[in-house]
Amino acid sequence: MKYKIELEQEADGRWIAEIEVLSGAMVYGDTREQAIKNVEVLALRILADRLEYGEVPEELELLFAA
């Protein structure tokens, strides 16, 4: 699964990047590229937290096998 990143530039020049399907995955960046990188990092942290607390997203089940 690929997560869609929504981007918008603020009036002050900053960029907002958001992944709507991941609650809390919204960040700012000084550039478009920085905003994208920041939201990707945050998305991985959110998924790692979910995994750690027993909520295994379907897309992560496809990554690991034991």
Write out pLDDT tens, residues 9-28: 999 999 999 999 999 999 99
**Running DSSP on this structure, what letter comes out for residue 8?**
E
Helix (H, G, I), strand (E, B) or coil at 65: coil
Calculate the alpha carbon distances from 35 to 11, 20, 40, 66 in Å: 15, 15, 9, 35
* Residue 26: inside a domain: yes
* Residue 66: inside a domain: no
* Residue 49: inside a domain: yes
pTM of the entire predicted model = 0.85
- Domain range for 55 is 6-61
* Residue 1: inside a domain: no
What H or E segment, with its residue span, contains residue 9? strand 6-9
Contact criterion met (CB below 8 Å) for 53 and 47:
no
Mean pLDDT score across all residues of the chain:
91
**Running DSSP on this structure, what letter comes out for residue 35?**
H
* Residue 51: inside a domain: yes
The tally of domains found in the chain comes to 1
* Residue 54: inside a domain: yes
